[in-house]
Amino acid sequence: MIVCLAVVGHQNNPLYIQSFTEADDALKLHHIVHCSLDVVDERVNNPKKSGPTINEAFLGLLYPTENYKVYGYLTNTKVKFILVTTDLDVRDADVRNFFRRFHAAYVDAVTNPFHVPGKKITSKIFAERVSTMVKSFGLSPAS
Amino acid sequence: MADPANTKLGRMLLDEITPVVMVLRTPLVEESCRKNGLSLIEMLAPYSNFNNIDVPVRTASDQPYRLRKFKLRLFYDSEIRQPNIEAAKERLKQVITRAGDKDFSDQCSDPPDIESLVATSQQEFVPSWFQNFNKELVDAVSFSEHEAFDHPVACLVAVSSKDKDPIGKFVDLFNTNQLPSLLNDGAMDPKILKYFLLVHDNQDGELEKATGVLTAMRSTFGANDCRLLCINSSADGMEEHQENPWASYKNIASNSKQLGCFLNVDDIEELRNTMHDLSSKHIIPHMELKIRVLNQQVSATRKGFRNQIKNLWWRKGKDDAPENPNGPMYTFSSTESQIRVLGDYAFMLRDYELALSNYRLISTDYKLDKAWKHYAGVQEMMGLAYFMLDQSRKDAEYCMENAFTTYLKIGSSGGRNVTRCGIWWAEMLKARGQFKDAAGVYFRISGEEPLHSAVMLEQASYCFLSSTPTMLRKYGFHLVLSGDLYKKSDQIKHAIRTYRGALSVFKGTTWNHIRDHVHFHIGKWYAFLGMFDEAIKHILEVLACGHQSKATQELFLWDFFRIVQETGKTFEVFRLQLPVINFPSIKIVFEDHRTYASPSAAIVRESLWQSLEGDMIPSLSAMKTNWLDSKVLPKKYKESNVCVAGEAIKVDISFRNPLQIPVSISNVSLICKHSAEYDETESDAIGSLTECHNDKELRTISVSGDFSLDTSLFTLSEVDISMQGGETMLVQLTVTPKIEGTLKLVGVRWKLSASVIGICNFHSDIIRKKVAKGKRKLKQVKDNLQFLVIKSLPRLEGVVDDLPKTVYAGELRRLTLELRNPSKISVKNLKMRISHPRFLNIAAQEVMNSEFPTCLRKQENSSQSCTQMDAAKAANSVFVFPETTANSWETPLKWPLWFRAAAAGSISLYMTIYYEMEDASSVITYRTLRMHYNLEVLPSLEVSLQTSPCPSRLQEFLVRMDVVNRTSSESFLVHQLSCVGDQWELALLRPIDSAVSFELLMAGQAMSCFFKLKYGRRQGSTEEKISSLATSGRADVRLVDSDSGGLFDTSISPFDLFHHYERLHQERHEQGSDGVGIMGHGSTVDFILIFESQRESNAGLPSTTEVFSHHKCHCKIASNSPIWWLMDGPRTVRHDFSAAFCEINLSMTVYNSSEDVVSVRISTLDSTSAINSASVSGNEVGWHDTSHLSEIKVTSDVMGTRFGKALSPESVSPFIWSGSSSTRFNLEPLSSVVVPLQISVFSPGTFDLSNYSLHWNLVTSCDGGDDDEHGSRVSSGTCQGHSYHITVLQKE
């Protein structure tokens, strides 16, 4: 299950961060997302390590913590998507697919003429769309 | 990479993995040493560390090498055992606590900027106590049985010369069962090198006895192994040591002066020699020998192909032995132990190659034996040996990892070793610059115990900081994690330290959630420690957390107030975030030569005032650029604004509450600095302010503070507000300087919830920006918060009494302008100007005394109109008050004003009053009082007037007046209609009768009535024409019963005054739409409708009558042509058509109303189609359609349809014009002529004789004279004939 999704701007400022858990762990997830930016930076700056997927927006597993797996995705505008999940056996393909759809949702949200680039994404439709995507992500491995 | 021995790990290993000497001593030896404040070991310790021992060493190989640095570790026999876990834990805790206390003292400064932190070298930001801590951790696992480097290499036996039977004591000491378990349980060879030391205290006895004992010892134990050590040679105990060698070895830095106070130079030399002798002559050779012996043994049993095979086979056989978690016990005599000892000895003597080969040899054995702990230990040593050899990094890492995981695997028994191995591993990685990996290792070390984990996580965080690229976020994260753990284990100081470190990462970012958390906790912890200043400083950071949830905001605020209460003091907080000040909206209003009657006047654009004051203010050119340029002021004051003592400077500040919870703010006031000196240098002023500029400085102030002191210089206003969540409030604060000098607005202060004082300084640049934007016209580059206070000046206060906020359009009022001069100094040269003379105008002063509105009624002797007209014309410019009124006033000056709500809508009235100081010595010689009033004018009656020529008479017109009451509730009484100009006579079409009187016109009601307007113009000259407006008598028609008072005299002020402006206005308005000038004076007429409203007053007072007037100017009279004509003739003719057709004679009277000779041509048309076209081409000569034309069309209804039923064009017209179809004649000015006309009618009926037209054109006999007057005057035109109905009947 996805516990947290975040959009981080190209100056590493949080644009959207949403946790999908009941518990009051917003702070922890903030920390995890914030920390994973270091790894994103590292991946981006040392493309050697990331190997053949150099032109790939999907950054793969950023780092595993005790209970979570953190995946990253970097758009061409240096906006980062961070996904924190508790599923310890997630297939990369699923995550990649999820990120693609999330990217589409993000693009739709920021193409709103009332959205100010570099400011937080406040669109309700975006939030709804994301939450349905998150729900369906939990189901997709079962199907 | 540097030499591995010089790295941190290298130094650590050279320090830690050194030969251990077990020290046995009698209590008397200890006693002698204690005199110096030292134990025996402590006394010897400085001399067991050799920096340049320079001993040749030959180990297994034949090639000797020299050893430079060497160290012996001295331990008492009782210490040689595995340390108690609990005790070790306690010691670690002490180390941490002590470090926390020590570090904490210098923590109060701001955390360094993260960028600079990265730039500094690692040593600077990593706390130094980590090394101690790590050493303690490593020491905690010393003397384990699976490692040999902690096993004593030699034994130092010390006996005092005072002891009875010293020889016996030597023997006893070693034979007692007190020896460490390591030697007794067989893990170690008990036969170790012994060195006998006879300690002689020079204070206690003669040296002879000691030397005697020494000889006995030498004979007993061998000459080489015995030595005499004389100490305490200094008798007085006042020996001072330049650099006390013991200071660094003694943990507790107690009175370090007394350490070694009885040891003189000789003693110290002896100590040094003793230890040098012990190490170079005994220990090192002993170890060399042992290495060689063991090496031979190992080679014999284990080296070579045969031995290996044998060994393997032998070990295979043991495979099925039951597994012992600790692995099999290896006694000192076992080959495995021997190899290990060989390796460790070689390691200690820096023969890492040899050590490595032996470790390698043994590690496979241990692995096969499943002696995991031993295996891990060996792997660890292999890793270190690789490191020291600086050979294969990969191997070294592999070994360390292997050791680490193996220790982890064996669980609790390897727990401490895991830590040590991890520390070494991490150090190794750090030495090689692999900081990220090192951080990972630290992270893995952190176990369950919170305190350890905290330290390890902190170390990990520093690794992230040192790694390239710097991983700041991980650094921050690990610091936060570590801080949490510190907090869990009650190390609050450390927790604060780590959080502060983390803060430097989060400070500039937008990750508010994390930053708030960090700030809040630091604040809370500081409060816990009682450091409230710091606590408040940090909590303040999170106060304005609008993004947090309401609960969090409440928590923050609640905690903040709790902390503030705990301090029991009133805090002054610089830049308090609650409430937020909206800086760009700060507005300063001050009065120099410009004074404002009301706040609303102050916000009016300066340019508007300037345009109004333009020609009133003297020395215009200087004023317009910058009034400060006038020579009155010294040049240096240009930069500051001028204000007058005793007059308030108003500052509008908008506060915003960012929280969702209400807050209460009290005592909001300005902070000002006043300096009496004019010539105070700029630097001084700034210097006195610097205390406030210190960022976020917290000051505790005494209750009265420095503000009571200032009250003599200026007074401040205080405001209390209470703000709801998210509310924005505009607060106006004032400061009133009392004394001349310089006043500077420093900032604003307020009290939050009666506990915290917030201070916020204004930044002149911020406000200046606003000023530039808001057009407050301060062009100075310099500070605009600085004011030059000049001595008090008279300041007029003006108010217009009872100026209504809402009025109905047309209402006439007499208002009173009241001017007060509160000061003693009188003013002169009063002038006034009003922006909208159409609405507000100056009345004559006599009006004050007369009664309104009865004074407007017509009086018998009304002859003042001429003088009034001059005033009206002058009022367009500046009104100058008579000198007499202005000199000095004890009583306020009252001056009447006429007010008339000219048009519906919102209107802003501006008035400016100029006055000069009687006292010319002042800096400011004149001032202006600016008044501004907004009012709303509601529509009242809508009046439309239409005039049309009377069909029956020349120069008479029908006037139709339609009045609609547009108000919602008001009712009006239409009082009179007057027309302006003496040439007009106005009368009701039907005389008024009381039954059909035009009573009250209720809301929404409409009314029409008809008047007859007669042109009664006398022959007049040109002069008369111009002043015709002024000198005219008026024709007035009363529309009400006479009992409600006489007619109003429209020829006096204010009617004529407002009529003048109204006329101007409407003329301007018309010219916009109508390109045609006024044709002759007879062509338009102005009407004034006066109506009243009875205002009920519920206070029992007599109801007041309000007078309204409506001015309708430039009503066009029927035609634009200069000629009027009238058809005259019989209306009904009886004729016998059987006899002949009927001829009817008519006459047309044509009148020329213009000043020129007009040539008129009358054309009669017989065809109806021609008539039709003629009606369309009414505009043919360039007449444009006007509103009056449309009105004329409407009036044609009154006169009947002009063309009647349209006749079919084919039908033959029933009558024809007889005689000439065109008659031309010239008409002298203002004269008339009668033209005979005749028609022939063929059949009876009623006919409309409108099918003729008059063409006229001006005969410009003396042209040029009038051209400038009527530039756009039309010189010719065509008029369609009026309808004239004639009925022809068959004669019976």
Tell whether A34 is within 8 A of chain B (Cβ): yes
Q: Same domain, yes or no, for B536 and B420?
A: yes
pLDDT at B1031 over 50: no
Return the DSSP state at B234. Answer: -
Q: A14–B477: do the CB atoms touch at under 8 Å?
A: no
From B469, B480, B509, residue closest to A31, measured CB to CB: B480
Residue B318: inside a domain: no
Fold of the A2-139 domain: Beta-Lactamase (3.30.450)
Whether a cis peptide bond, with omega within 30° of 0, leads into B46 is no
Residue B834: inside a domain: yes
- DSSP letters spanning B975-991: EEEEEESTTEEEEESS-
- Please give the share of chain A, as a percent, with pLDDT higher than 70: 90
Please state which of the ranges B475-484, B706-715, B721-730, B960-969 shows the lowest mean pLDDT: B706-715
What pLDDT score does B1208 carry? Answer: 44
Q: A27–B517: do the CB atoms touch at under 8 Å?
A: yes
Q: B471–A42: do the CB atoms touch at under 8 Å?
A: yes
Residue B165: inside a domain: yes
What pLDDT score does B505 carry? Answer: 80
Strands ordered across the beta sheet of B1232-1241: B1123-1128, B1142-1152, B1232-1241, B1215-1218
Whole-number Å distance between alpha carbons of B128 and B122: 11
Mean pLDDT confidence for B1104-1115: 76
pLDDT at B654 over 60: yes
Residue B1267: inside a domain: yes
Residue B630: inside a domain: no
Spell A59-83 as b/e; 16+ CB within 10 A means b: beebbeeeebbbbbbbeeeebbbbb
- Per-residue pLDDT reduced to its tens digit, B991-1023: 655 444 556 777 778 878 888 777 765 444 333
Mean pLDDT confidence for B907-921: 79
Q: Nearest-CA distance from A137 to chain B in Å?
A: 27
Whole-number Å distance between alpha carbons of B540 and B1111: 66
Contact criterion met (CB below 8 Å) for B877 and B904: no
- Type of residue numbered B1164: T
Q: Same domain, yes or no, for B1135 and B1104?
A: no
Q: Domain range holding B159? A: 4-82+141-287
Domain end point (choices B568, B601, B626): B568
Q: Same domain, yes or no, for B390 and B510?
A: yes
Q: Nearest-CA distance from A8 to chain B in Å?
A: 10
In what helix (H) or strand (E) does residue B388 lie, and over which residues does it extend? helix B372-389
Domain boundaries, chain A: 2-139
Whole-number Å distance between alpha carbons of B847 and B895: 9
Residues 6+ away with beta carbon under 8 Å from B579: B655, B656, B657, B658, B663, B665, B723, B729, B750, B752
Q: How far is CA B47 from CA B56, B71, B238, B1220, in A?
A: 20, 9, 22, 155
Contact criterion met (CB below 8 Å) for B523 and B559: yes
Alpha carbon dihedral B813, B814, B820, B826, in 10-degree steps, equals 130
**Chain A residues touching residue B517 (CB < 8 angstroms):** 27
Residue B659: inside a domain: no
Q: Same domain, yes or no, for B69 and B201?
A: yes
pLDDT at B1167 over 60: no
pLDDT at B746 over 50: yes
Q: Same domain, yes or no, for B33 and B14?
A: yes
**What is the residue whose two structure tokens read 């000789």?**
B266
- Please give the share of chain B, as a percent, with pLDDT higher than 70: 72
- ipTM, 2 dp: 0.89
The tokens describing B1213, both together, are 């017209």
DSSP-derived pairing of the beta strands B571-574 and B756-761: parallel
Mean pLDDT confidence for B1084-1100: 70
What pLDDT score does B243 carry? Answer: 61
pLDDT at B502 over 50: yes
**Chain B residues touching residue A30 (CB < 8 angstroms):** 511, 513-514
What pLDDT score does B170 carry? Answer: 77
Q: A13–B510: do the CB atoms touch at under 8 Å?
A: yes
Please state which of the ranges B448-457, B700-709, B994-1003 shows the lowest mean pLDDT: B700-709
State the average pLDDT for chain B. 72
Domain end point (choices B907, B938, B969): B938
- Residues linked to residue B1012 through DSSP beta bridges, in sequence order: B958, B987
Query: A32 to chain B: nearest residue by CA?
Result: B477
**Chain B residues touching residue A42 (CB < 8 angstroms):** 469, 471
- Per-residue pLDDT reduced to its tens digit, B3-59: 777 777 787 777 778 888 888 888 888 888 877 777 788 878 778 787 777 777 777
Which among A12, A13, A16, A35 is the top mutation candidate for probing chain B, defined by the most B β-carbons within 10 Å of its own β-carbon?
A: A35
Q: Nearest-CA distance from A139 to chain B in Å?
A: 31
Number of structural domains found in chain B: 5
Return the higher-pLDDT residue of B1097 and B68.
B68
**Chain B residues touching residue A12 (CB < 8 angstroms):** 509
Q: Nearest-CA distance from A49 to chain B in Å?
A: 14
Mean pLDDT confidence for A105-132: 88
Report how far Cα B877 is from the mean position of its chain's Cα atoms: 46
Whole-number Å distance between alpha carbons of B77 and B26: 12
What pLDDT score does B456 carry? Answer: 85
Q: How confident is the model at residue B1205 (pLDDT cuts 50, 70, 90)?
A: very low
Supply the CATH number for residue B1198's domain.
2.60.40.10
Domain end point (choices B1093, B1115, B1137): B1115
Query: B470 to chain A: nearest residue by CA?
Result: A38
- Please give the share of chain B, as a percent, with pLDDT higher than 90: 0
**Chain A residues touching residue B476 (CB < 8 angstroms):** 34
Q: Same domain, yes or no, for B1019 and B934?
A: no
Q: Nearest-CA distance from B511 to chain A in Å?
A: 7
Whole-number Å distance between alpha carbons of B501 and B493: 12
Mean pLDDT confidence for B415-425: 81
Q: Same domain, yes or no, for B980 and B865?
A: no
Q: B510–A45: do the CB atoms touch at under 8 Å?
A: no
Mean pLDDT confidence for B490-498: 83
pLDDT at B920 over 50: yes
From A13, A37, A45, residue closest to B473, measured CB to CB: A37
Residue B472: inside a domain: yes
Whether a cis peptide bond, with omega within 30° of 0, leads into B180 is no
Please state which of the ranges B399-413, B527-541, B957-971, B1010-1024 shows the lowest mean pLDDT: B1010-1024
The count of CB pairs under 8 A between chains A and B is 35
Supply the CATH number for residue B535's domain.
1.25.40.10
What pLDDT score does B327 carry? Answer: 47
Quick one: which of B210, B200, B209 has its CA closest to B232? B200
Mean pLDDT confidence for B1259-1270: 47
Q: B471–A38: do the CB atoms touch at under 8 Å?
A: yes
